Structure 1
């Protein structure tokens, strides 16, 4: 079962589990039970060009995992004017491809995102639609390259598993394989290298900051507070920072509907006045 990469704030709980294989590590990372039932975040994204020019985007993201354990995620673009009003809806399915839709305000219409378009840019950033979800452990051939390796990211050193993941369906992704460093404490990948068929590294992901935070119920979660993805071909990068967050507070299921996608309007959660 897959779970969406709540793209920029990706959460998972810390476990004492001693994973013995690459498949074990990926399975723990993909475990749906280790994320809040509900989450709301405000995301600040910065597109940084090679010449230093910066474009700032603000996005509201809503997530719910109470529909039979499936993850539904909605993204609402608030600024700048070039993307304001754009909305993306991702609905997870059991043993089927996820449903993904985008509403473009300039066209005043919503459309389903076909599989072939999921390798394309998410709102003009260096993240793709595929980056907005976590790949399930059975979608890749996962190979343990090193079960005890250290890596330093943004000044923090992590003890990691180093795992190579080769997709079974290569036509559905924009890379030939990826190599990930999974932090042994949180099971969060803190460094990911993406390669093309010519063994050329084309993209780099780094988790710049992990912060322990609590939901409204008092449950503590490790939060990817800041992330960066770099296009190594063009030199362009996108950083994603969680500005605000609320976990475990009920979100109305009307966010995860075609009506919300088109209108941007959702009702209050049932237990809210």
Structure 2
């Protein structure tokens, strides 16, 4: 009886201190991140037949005084997309997104209904380009397992309101190390339950105290296309002119 009592106490203690899926998501959300980032990346789009298109993109990101994030992307090459600019501004109720297409000569706001549309011909959608609110989903810790040499939490996230999400289910492999806490694999299921896309992150590198992905790949299993973002240059916590995140910059491409 004493042995059973000890085992019972051990089991109850492990349950009390067990990590939940929501715990993991909250740890990831509150992990310290850079105040600003500046990146030069190559974006490679691979068609189902194996042909490739390359894009060069410069990206800046920061957090404002209210700890809300801003991100601007400027396409530098090739000529067909040069000077296309894409702005994301976080607010209390979500994200606002605008895009400037030189061929049209005007700024277009990305409506919430367009969130599942492809971003610049890639396998990333507009909503994929910005983070969601963890409170929009129910999260469940499925298991813990090793992946690519990292011990990971495997967390399933299901939208509370399917009409507000392009995906019916997400499963993420999140590195357990509290210094990293980055998802290195994400399975994205459509609302019919099919595995639609898989996002993978590779070549993590610690830069000035922060872990930065070397490459991010989105593979579409339904159309055999993929898009890969490869970091060529990364700077963190450097001063960034806040005028970059104003709508005026989208049109002019210039800061005061």
TM-score with structure 2 length normalisation? 0.89
Cα displacement (A) at 1:171? 2.8
Paired position in structure 2 for 1:51: 49
Which residue of structure 2 aligns with residue 179 of structure 1? 171
Structure 1 portions without partners, runs of 5+: 1-17, 215-219, 268-273
Contact 2:218–2:227 (8 Å) recurs in 1:
yes
Which of structures 1 and 2 has the bigger CA Rg? 2
Does the CA contact (< 8 Å) of 1:193 and 1:204 recur in 2?
yes
Paired residues of 1:27 and 1:136 also in contact (CA < 8 A): no
Residues 181-201 of structure 1 deviation map (CA, whole Å, 9 limit, x = unaligned) = 101121100111111222210
* Other structure's SS at 1:67 match: coil
2:22 matched to 1:23?
yes
The separation in 1 between residues aligned to 2:162 and 2:106, in whole angstroms, is 30
Deviations for 1:56-82, whole angstroms, at most 9, x for unmatched residues? Answer: 011111111133111011111111222
**Per-residue deviation, 1:227:** 1.2
| Contact 1:86-1:104 at 8 Å conserved across structures | yes
Aligned CA RMSD, in angstroms, stands at 1.4
Give the aligned partner of residue 87 of structure 1.
85
Give the Cα–Cα distance (whole angstroms) in 2 for the partners of residues 90 and 26 of structure 1. 22
Q: Which residue of 1 aligns with 2:161?
A: 169
Does the 8 A contact of 2:157 with 2:171 survive in 1?
yes
CA contact (8 A) 1:38 1:65 kept: yes
Cα separation, 2, equivalents of 1:76 and 1:142: 34
* Aligned partners of 1:62 and 1:75 also within 8 Å: yes
Q: Is the 8 A contact 1:46 1:57 kept in 2?
A: yes
Q: Tell me what 1:5 maps to.
A: none
2:225 corresponds to 1:231: no
The answer for the alignment partner of 1:160 in structure 2 is 152
- The answer on whether the counterparts of 2:207 and 2:236 sit within 8 Å (CA) in structure 1 is no
Judging changes above 3 Å, is the alpha-carbon distance between structure 1 residues 169 and 82 closer, same or farther for their aligned structure 2 residues? farther
Greater RCO between the two (CA within 8 Å, min separation 6)?
A: 1
**Which residue does the alignment assign to 1:123?**
120
Q: What is the CA–CA distance in structure 2 between the aligned matches of 1:113 and 1:222, rounded to whole Å?
A: 30
Partner of residue 103 from structure 2, selected from 102, 106, 125: 106
Q: Hey, which of these two has a bigger chunk of helix by percent?
A: 2
1:209 counterpart residue number: 203
Per the TM alignment, residue 173 of structure 1 is displaced from its structure 2 partner at its CA by: 2.8
Work out the CA distance in 2 between the residues paired with 1:191 and 1:160. Answer: 10
Q: Could you tell me how far apart the structure 2 residues matched to 1:79 and 1:170 are?
A: 37
2:67 is the counterpart of 1:78: no
Aligned mates of 1:19, 1:43 — CA distance in 2? 39
Unaligned residue ranges in structure 2 (runs of 5+): 1-16
Counterpart position of 2:211: 222
CA distance in 2, matches of 1:85, 1:232: 31
The whole-number CA distance in structure 1 between the counterparts of 2:135 and 2:247 is: 30
